[in-house]
């Protein structure tokens, strides 16, 4: 191929699949629980909010990949690594926040998971602008 299409690192199909896959994976991580489960305090509104924010986050990062075309994301494995870093970091932050937040004496807050480590890793391995976008996404999700 010649012209503009030969220089694209992220095709529209790859960006769409990334956005949908990341959104669905984040739904399972961010969702508080299934409505009607043993926890009486969690309703359908909480789950709907988690689904909406997860799909918006995945869609936003997918749009970023398509618009800015980071050259470093030229293979499917690198795109999968990006999605895995985001999902694992959100899951780890959710796990550590649930353990350390009932901290009335403020003993454990200094040892919490460094959320900025994932964008630093993405800046080192992939792209600086992508790391800024992931940092904004993690600030929204954690």
Which pair of tokens denotes residue 21?
A: 């896959």
Q: Give the model confidence (pLDDT) of 40-84 as tens digits.
A: 566 778 888 989 999 999 999 999 999 999 999 999 999 999 999
| pLDDT on residue 35 | 46
Q: Using N-to-C axis directions, what is the helix angle for 117-125 and 76-100, rounded to 10°? A: 170
- Residue range 133-137: mean pLDDT, rounded: 94
Structural domain boundaries, residue 131: 3-141
- The structural domain count of the chain equals 1
Rounded to whole angstroms, the Cα distance separating 20 from 23 reads 5
Q: Give the model confidence (pLDDT) of 27-51 as tens digits.
A: 998 887 644 555 556 677 888 898 9
pLDDT(16) > 60: yes
Which has more confidence, 133 or 139? 133
Which has more confidence, 13 or 94? 13
Query: DSSP letter string over the chain?
Result: --GGGGG-SS-HHHHHHHHHHHHHHHHHHH----TTSS-TT--HHHHHHHHHHHHHHHHHHHHHHHHH--TT--SHHHHHHHHHHHHHHHHHHHHHHHHHSS-TT-SSGGGS--TTHHHHHHHHHT-HHHHHHHHHHHHHH-
Contact criterion met (CB below 8 Å) for 119 and 131 = yes
| pLDDT on residue 18 | 95
- Rounded to two decimals, the pTM is 0.82
| pLDDT on residue 66 | 95
| pLDDT on residue 1 | 46
| pLDDT on residue 57 | 95
């Amino acid at each position: 191929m010649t012209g503009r299409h030969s220089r694209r690192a992220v095709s529209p199909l790859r960006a769409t699949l990334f956005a949908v896959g990341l959104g669905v994976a984040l739904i399972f991580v961010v969702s508080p629980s299934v409505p009607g489960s043993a926890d009486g305090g969690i309703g359908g509104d909480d789950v709907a909010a988690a689904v909406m924010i997860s799909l918006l986050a995945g869609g936003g990062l997918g749009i970023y990949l398509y618009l800015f075309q980071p050259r470093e994301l030229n293979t499917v494995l690198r795109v999968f690594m990006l999605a895995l870093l985001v999902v694992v970091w959100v899951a780890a932050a959710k796990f550590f926040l649930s353990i350390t937040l009932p901290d009335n004496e403020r003993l454990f807050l200094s040892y919490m998971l460094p959320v900025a480590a994932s964008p630093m890793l993405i800046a080192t391995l992939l792209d600086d602008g992508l790391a800024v976008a992931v940092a904004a996404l993690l600030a929204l999700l954690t």
